[in-house]
Amino acid sequence: MKEFILSDLLNRRLSLLGANLPLLAQCLHGIERECLRVTADGRLAQTPHPHTLGSALTNEQITTDYSESLLEFITPALADPAQVLDQLEEIHRFVYTRLGDEYLWSPSMPCPLPTEENIPIAEYGTSNIGQLKHVYRKGLALRYGRTMQCIAGIHYNFSLPEALWPLLRADEGSAQSDRDFQSRMYIGLIRNFRRYSWLLMYLFGASPALDAGFLRGRAHQLETFDANTLYLPYATSLRMSDLGYQSEAQASLTPCYNDLESYTDSLRRAVATPYPPYVEVGTHKDGEWVQLNTNVLQIENEYYSNIRPKRVAYTGERPIQALVARGVQYVEVRCLDINPFLPTGIDLPQSRFLDAFLLLCALDDSPQLTNGECAQCSNNFLAVVKEGRRPGLELHRDGQAIAMKQWADELLARIAPFAKLLDQSQGSDEHVNALALQQAKVEDASLTPSARVLAAMQQHGEGFSAFSMRQTLAHAEALRSKPLDAERQQHFEALARNSLVEQTRLEQEEVGDFDLFVGSYQASILAIST
């Protein structure tokens, strides 16, 4: 690992962490993993969400995302990422006891998909909140198409210990309240994440190829791998490229990460500002809801970003309301591809590295992003997702060209002291070892997941879908070969049963019609006081 001179601010904060090592073991982690249900021949499952998995509306650990076929597994937030990953694996193993002859698709990019109208939108029952979730998804289909909504990813939730913020605030001599200081630091983390997240795309991007049918005949600049597969030879994550979420409405939306107030205000305006093409469509067609409203965003979660500031919301509370009322509690990293070589899509070394990376983002100096730097961050990110493994690739920092490899080396050197502190706090060497694995990828691009995907396809003479199905079957066998013990099996069965009971209760106790419910929901965003 190359040596790198750290700033005085970073050295001071590292010293503060070193003097309070037990706190570092109190960071919290949670993972959300999305994946498609597919048939034995690698096609999208057209069956309803399995009843034996419980209610997609009220089961806190097993739900659906956009499509009825797009499962989402959610772990609790825990201090030990090894336990988080154990829980994620347990969810997978339980689900496989209920899938029959269906499978969990291994990569982020989808299997060969049916026509748009035959991609089923998720259903959540007849309660007002269940209908709201369904209509919101109908709106996504209208605005972006159903195909794009079938892309899956891993979301990594991370928070620093609550007790650390007052120590940092006192060290800085800040006059802000603990809550406001904490929010300011998390927004600073997000700014640094925007500067450095290209590195995660290089190290963990795993979608250099896709099924040719995904583009539905759209113009593109991809190359042909075989008759059914498109790719880019140096790509790391086509999922995160401009082939993914595209929207002229969202292109006009650039939430400011200068502070929490400006961020929430920009999203609030987007949820309340009509967008002419959506106005033209309206909210109803033939008496049926087709979108929740005709604004730039239907709800704040529609804004697609690589990372989000988050706060656990109360029942009936909107995400922006929670942030405005109580500040930022954690961040949700949303740009991670599913690793198709891993049964659960993510492993412990990746989690260990992410923790050290996010600590650097949180505690390094984070000046505000000028307009020019915002564009520079976006351009660097796109360059790496499309050609991150190209020898000699250059990015731009402070308006000057810099070799991606040189910048990656510098970042890893700055992350190293955080990896060491995390290991000291836990009496292990796992974070330093995880960092060494990433350094090896910087030295040798063939070790990256994206390179390994293309190498496996070439070695086996197979396209994207055949490779993905081979991995899917291997993961199914691995997960099914380790049945849960009786206690854990019963735990998940009880979660499923209780969620069905809860959905029924919501539906039976519902008062007020859906149109009034939507009106009230829309009005709630306008009532936020900042």
Give the residues across from 330 on adjacent strands.
310
pLDDT tens for 116-131 read 999 999 999 999 999 9
List, in order, residues 6 or more apart from 140 with CB less than 8 Å away.
66, 149, 298, 302
| Share of residues in the chain with pLDDT > 90 (%) | 86
192: closest CA among 414, 520, 458?
414
Quick one: CA dihedral 438, 424, 336, 42, positive or negative?
positive
Band the pLDDT of 246: cuts 50, 70, 90.
Answer: low
- List, in sequence order, the alpha helices (H) in 427-513: 430-443, 449-460, 464-480, 486-508
Domains and CATH numbers, the chain: 8-526 (3.30.590.20)
pLDDT at 529: 46
Q: Write down the pLDDT at residue 346.
A: 98
pLDDT band at 262 (very low <50, low <70, confident <90, very high): confident
Give me the half-sphere count of Cα atoms (radius 13 Å) on the Cβ side of residue 285: 13
Q: Which residues contact 14 (CB under 8 A, 6 or more apart)?
A: 6, 363, 417, 418, 421
Q: What is the pLDDT of residue 185?
A: 97
- Average pLDDT of the residues of the chain: 94
Least confident of 166-170, 223-227, 304-308, 453-457: 304-308
What confidence tier does 530 reach under pLDDT thresholds 50, 70, 90? very low
Pairing of strands 307-310, 103-104: unpaired
pLDDT beyond 70 at 256: no
What are the phi and psi torsion angles at 401 (to 5°)? Answer: -70, 140
Dump pLDDT digits (tens) for 172-192. 999 999 999 999 999 999 999
Average pLDDT over residues 223-230: 97
